[in-house]
Amino acid sequence: MAAKTLIINGKHVSAEENATILEAATEAGISIPTLCHLDGVYDAGACRLCLVEVAGISKLLPACTTKVAEGMDVSTDTERLRKYRRMTLELLFAERNHVCAVCVSNNHCELQTLAYSQGMEHVRFEYRFPKWEVDNTHALFGMDHNRCILCTRCVRVCWHIEGAGTKNESGRGAKERIITDLNQPWGASDTCTNCGKCVMACPTGALFYKGSTVSEMERDRSKLEFIVTAREKKQWIASE
Amino acid sequence: MPKRIIIDPVTRIEGHAKISIFLDDEGNVSDAEFHVVEFRGFEKFCEDRPYAEMPGITARICGICPVSHLLASAKAGDAIMAVNIPPAADKLRRLMNLGQIIQSHALSFFHLSAPDFLMGWNTPPAKRNVFGLIASNADLARAGIRLRQFGQEIIETLGGKKIHPSWAVPGGVRSPLTEAGREKLRAWLPEAYATSKIAFDLFKKTLDTHKKEVQIFGNFPSLFMGLVEPDGTWEHHGGKLRFVDSSGSTIADQLDPQKYYEYIGEAVQPSSYLKSPYYTPLGFPDGMYRVGPLARLNVAEQMGTPKADAELKKFKKLGLPGAVTSSFLYHHARLIEILASIERVEISLDDPDLLSNDLRADAGINSLRGVGVSEAPRGTLFHDYTVDRDGLLRKVNLIVATGQNNLAMNRTVAQIARHYVRGNDIPEPMLNRIEHGIRCYDPCLSCSTHAVGQMALVVRLIAPDGAIVRQISRI
Ligand code: SF4
Ligand code: FES
């Protein structure tokens, strides 16, 4: 496979032809903040946390869905990017009801971790305090829409890894939400196999094992990548 | 023309207590009200949440007694699951509750109340606080701080976090005690006993010098309520409820705490954010009862441990021929509960069950209503949840100690004011006494632990026509 050479943060990096900027950077030991990206499933470019600057292009590009090109000059950590990332995070917090102190994912939440690491000290936007429901109808899992950031990881693992196609999106903008099947209560779903991959994938406290208490949700996402690697490459590599 | 006096909040920043003192035509005190300004939206706010989140959420109700809410909430969860939790989980929860009693009572006695005992009512509030105590009796202050630390260390060793642990969960607890943790706690015991003795000695002297306070700081007949074991032994996290009256006779015993609504009514008072619970068979306000250390010792026949039992005997003598009715003796009761808790911690540390990993029962929703009752340091705490089939909360009712003691606090303030208010004046020493009268109950308001141990008070004297004749604020 042909390799491409590009520059990331002034460093010369070579990457496989079809690699994304995110993959090339990760390979080179350069970390780019991500939220909707999940190892093992295709990317959706939904969260815009991974935006990077590419010399000669005025638009910011998502590293997770942009392919590398020969001679590309990428910057991943500029003042402008830091500003945008903080703003994106603030908007995510303002959009629904993220109350870390009483959340099942407190201290194990990717959104919270990013807010810390990106220096989000407060939210400058007015909180919208929408009233979303909790779907606790499933025997094993619960879904709290108040904490969903619409990253669609759950949808992707459900379609791509499990192949059940239970989780879907409906609506647009502020009305967008994750639904099960054709918008039935989760407990009434005919397609859900109770595999729990969506729960493992969720970066926040939106999906949880029923009965979880505050800070109790810890997820093992490496299982997802394990399954995909096993299936696609016939390699069973358990992480340590 | 009759008048009234009010002690009022001016700012919510540090928390505050607002007190109205009503005067009659002769300018004498006719009544008093201690208005509790506390956030009451909480019960509404929890609706639609999964019940399993409640221990963690309710632990945020109050920064002062998160552990008590945590435990009562987890118990309400057990009831919704309709499970018997593993014995080890129950023992561990009990151990944490003992830690909470020790740390909370130590704070109340040493930090908040001892400065008053030692420095007298005429010492200005700026000196009559824990810093003044450190200056005048550093050893005592240090011993008190260390005793509180012991209680906190019990909580931390189990829950992992001093404030807001969400370690107790519906069905049990998340983690056991470790061997290292057990040895660390055991090492505290000799010092804890020694400090308890210092406190008893100090309080014995205080009793000699504060005869008048015993007489007028909330000394009146009322009912008392608390948990007891089947044989009448002091309980703090299980057992059944008992009511005794001021003659010391048991008027109701072994009441199922889960069915509190069959014998406890809640009167809503317009002047306060708190509901005033009462014993329904006697009606309101005759069914008024006190909870907390004084009440628990009045309902208990024995403490169940030798050292505390010896102290309980002496304590009971103070009330003869009836129950101990002076709220000033809440302090005394607190010391006995500290001692009993230390003894029980010592016994429980020898129990191998505490290291068990069988800690959590698993079940779905088996009952649509669950009530959890536990003795918080300040008094019996009720968490009552109604859920739907999916376990989402439909209704939440909490009955807290400060609510149950609210009427008693009113009477205490009125009784003290009656002795010291003459005409339209509110002399500073009276303010100090009123403050202490409230502090006897150790109410769980942020004002009760004001930064330097002084309550933010606003007192108003009010005429019968509602006119405020005088207002004093002390923030
Ligand atoms: S439920 Fe979780 S995984 Fe699914 S879209 Fe929402 S945040 Fe993402
Ligand atoms: S990680 Fe690239 S857009 Fe979310």
Residue B15 confidence (pLDDT) above 60? no
SS (H, E, C) A85-143: HHHHHHHHHHHCCCCHHHCCCCCCCHHHHHHHHCCCCCCCCCCCCCCCCEECCCCCEEE
Domain boundaries in chain B?
3-36+424-474, 42-403
The structural architecture, per CATH, of the domain A3-77 is Roll (3.10)
| Chain B residues with CB-CB distance to A136 below 8 A | 50, 390-392
Q: What is the pLDDT of residue B446?
A: 47
What is the DSSP pairing of strand A207-209 with strand B29-35? unpaired
- Determine the pLDDT at residue B456: 67
Which residues, 6+ apart, have CB-to-CB distance to B241 below 8 Å? B225, B226, B227, B228, B252, B254, B255, B256, B257, B260, B373, B380
Q: What is the pLDDT of residue A143?
A: 98
- Does residue B65 carry a pLDDT above 80? no
Considering only the beta carbons, identify the residue of A134, A144, A214 that sits closest to B166.
A214
pLDDT of residue B10: 30
**Ligand 2 contact, A41 CB (< 6 A):** no
Fold of the domain spanning B42-403: Cytochrome-c3 Hydrogenase; chain B (1.10.645)
* Ligand 2 atom at minimum distance from A22 CA: 2
Q: Is A99 on the interface with B (CB under 8 A)?
A: no
Which is it for strands B240-244 and B250-255: parallel, antiparallel or unpaired? antiparallel
Are B70 and B165 a contacting pair, CB within 8 Å?
Answer: yes
Instruction: Express as a percent the part of chain B with pLDDT over 90.
Output: 60
Name the DSSP letter for residue B192: H
Tell me which chain A residue has its CA closest to the CA of residue B168: A213
Least confident of A25-39, B125-139, B311-325: B125-139
Question: Among all residues of chain A, which has the CA nearest to that of B54?
Answer: A213
Rounded to 5 degrees, what are φ and ψ at B50? -65, 135
Residue B134 has pLDDT above 90, yes or no: no
Which ligand has the shortest distance to the CA of A61?
A: 2
pLDDT at B421: 77
Question: What are the pLDDT digits (tens) for B348-395?
Answer: 999 999 999 999 999 999 999 999 999 999 999 999 999 999 999 999
Residue B31, classified by CB atoms within 10 Å of its CB into exposed (0-12), middle (13-18) or buried (19+), is: middle
Nearest residue of A to residue B175 by CA position? A216
**Buried-exposed string A19-40: b where 16+ CB fall within 10 A, e elsewhere:** bbbbbbbbebebebbbbbbbeb
Mean pLDDT rounded to a whole number for chain B: 87
Query: Which ligand has the shortest distance to the CA of A23?
Result: 2
Query: Using CA atoms, how far apart are residues B148 and B190, in angstroms rounded to an integer?
Result: 14
Q: State how far the Cα of B273 lies from the Cα of A237, in Å rounded to an integer.
A: 60
CA angle B428, B434, B440 (to 5 degrees): 140
Q: What is the pLDDT of residue B9?
A: 37
**Which residues in chain A are classed under CATH 3.10.20.740?**
3-77
Model confidence at A87, pLDDT cuts 50, 70, 90, reads very high
Chain B touched by A129 (CB under 8 Å): no
Percentage, residues of chain B above pLDDT 70? 89
Q: Are B217 and B415 in contact (CB under 8 A)?
A: yes
pLDDT winner (highest mean) among A24-28, B1-5, B426-430: A24-28
Task: List alpha helices for B61-178, DSSP H.
Answer: 66-81, 87-106, 114-119, 130-136, 138-159
Distance in angstroms (rounded) separating the CA atoms of residues A180 and A189? 7
Pocket flag, ligand 2, residue A36 (CB < 6 Å): yes
If you average pLDDT over residues B1-18, what whole number do you get?
47
- Average the pLDDT over B406-421 and give the result: 89
CB contact under 8 A, A134 and B50: yes
Phi, psi (5° rounding) for residue B121? -70, -20
A211/B52 CB distance under 8 A:
yes
Q: How far apart are alpha carbons B55 and B385 in whole angstroms? A: 12
Pairwise pLDDT comparison (A40 vs B186), residue with the higher score: B186
Give B51→chain A minimum CA distance, Å. 8
As a whole number of angstroms, the distance between CA A58 and CA A79 comes to: 15
- pLDDT, one tens digit per residue, over B74-103 is 999 999 999 999 999 999 999 999 999 999
C-alpha A21 to ligand 2 mean position (Å) = 11
In chain A, list all ranges with CATH 3.30.70.20. 102-232
Task: Assign B312 to helix, strand or coil.
Answer: helix
Least confident of A108-112, A219-223, B44-48, B208-212: B44-48
Q: Is the CB of A178 under 6 A from ligand 1?
A: yes
pLDDT at B287: 94
Question: At CA A159, angle to CA A155 and CA A161, rounded to 5?
Answer: 110
**pLDDT of B126 over the 80 cut:** no
| Distance in Å, alpha carbon of A187 to nearest chain B alpha carbon | 10
Residue B1: the pLDDT is 44
What residue of B is the nearest CA neighbor of A135? B390
Span B440-460, average pLDDT: 62
DSSP calls for B386-421: EE-TTSBEEEEEEE-HHHHTHHHHHHHHHHHHHHH-
CB contact under 8 A, A210 and B52: yes
Q: How confident is the model at residue B448 (pLDDT cuts 50, 70, 90)?
A: very low
Q: Which of A43, A135, A150 to mutate to test the pocket of ligand 1 (most atoms within 8 A of CB)?
A: A150
pLDDT of residue B412: 94
3 state DSSP class of A200: helix
CB A186 within 8 A of CB A23: no
Distance CA A8, CA B272 (A): 64
Q: Is the pLDDT of residue B133 over 60?
A: yes
Question: Is the pLDDT assigned to residue B277 strictly greater than 80?
Answer: yes
Q: Give the β-pairing of A167-170 and B168-169.
A: unpaired
Taking 60 as the threshold, does the pLDDT of residue B415 lie above it?
yes
| pLDDT surpasses 60 at B453 | no
pLDDT the model gives residue B6 = 52
Residue found by looking up tokens 């918080």 in the block:
B376
Cβ B56–A215 below 8 Å, yes or no?
A: yes
Judge whether A94 is closer than 8 Å to chain B, CB to CB. Answer: no
Q: Is the pLDDT of residue B164 over 60?
A: no
Q: Give the pLDDT of residue B445.
A: 60
Section A184-207 average pLDDT: 97
Indicate whether B163 pLDDT > 80: no
DSSP B86: P
Residue B299 has pLDDT above 90, yes or no: yes
Nearby residues of B43 by Cβ (< 8 Å), 6 or more positions away:
B396, B397, B398
Query: pTM here?
Result: 0.90
- Average pLDDT (B303-319) is 97
Residue of A nearest to B391 (CA): A136
What pLDDT is stored for residue B426 in this prediction? Answer: 76
What dihedral angle (degrees, nearest 10) is formed by the CA atoms of B314, B316, B321, B322? 160
pLDDT value, residue B77: 97
**Closest C-alpha residue for ligand 1 atom 3:** A202
Chain A residues in contact with B57 (beta carbon < 8 A): 102, 214
Q: In this model, does residue B3 exceed pLDDT 60?
A: no
Give the pairing of strands A51-54 and A57-62. Answer: antiparallel
- Asked if residue B194 has pLDDT above 80, the reply is yes
Question: Which of B81, B166, B174, B365 to substitute to test the interface with A, most A CBs within 10 Å?
Answer: B166
Residue nearest to atom 3 of ligand 2 (CA): A45
- Which mutation among A108, A112, A138, A207 tests ligand 1's pocket best, with the greatest number of atoms within 8 A of CB? A207
Q: Which residues, in sequence order, are bridge partners of residue B373?
A: B382
**Which residues of chain A neighbour B59 with C-beta distances below 8 Å?**
214
For residue B221 the two structure tokens come to 């007949």
What is the predicted pLDDT for the residue at B447? Answer: 40
Confidence of residue A199 (pLDDT cuts 50, 70, 90): very high
**Chains A–B, number of C-beta pairs less than 8 Å apart:** 51
Rounded distance, CA B81 to CA A95, Å?
Answer: 34
CB interface of A with B, residues 206-225, below 8 Å: 210-216
A contacts of B174 (beta carbons < 8 Å) = 213, 216
Classify A102-232 by CATH class.
alpha beta
Res. B58: pLDDT tops 70: yes
Assign residue B172 a region (left: φ > 0; alpha: ψ between -120 and 50; beta: otherwise): left
